[in-house]
Amino acid sequence: MFSHVVIFWTKPEIPGATDALIAGAEQYLRPIPGVRSFHIGRMAKSHRDVVDQTYQVALYLQFENKQQQDDYQVHPLHLEFVEKAFKPNCARVVIYDFE
């Protein structure tokens, strides 16, 4: 298994940036071949100090192996997501990949 976790900080000056990012991921990323598991959602509030609550959206993708994730990165739908949903709506992103 290869897991790909993306944490997004949306642009606060853009109303609806969070919704647009989530909708864009659903439209462009979910259908990409090789994605075994897809989950995107808003940050869940927590009373625990150790839980980062500074971001707005998280994306979790699971692939069978690293090669499938590498193929996903250059897929035309992923590139379209970056241009149409990510760049207009996000101020920052952090990615965690693990096997």
Q: What is the pLDDT of residues 55-92, one digit of tens each?
A: 999 999 999 999 999 999 999 999 999 999 999 999 99
What's residue 24's pLDDT? 98
What's residue 12's pLDDT? 96
The residue type of 82 is V
What's residue 50's pLDDT? 96
Mean predicted lDDT score pLDDT of the chain: 97
Average pLDDT over residues 42-64: 96
Contact 36, 63 (CB under 8 A): yes
Contact 1, 86 (CB under 8 A): no
CATH tag, 2-44+55-98? 3.30.70.100
Beta bridge partners of 40: 59
Question: What CA–CA distances, in Å, run from 7 to 40, 45, 77?
Answer: 10, 15, 19
Whole-number Å distance between alpha carbons of 71 and 17: 27
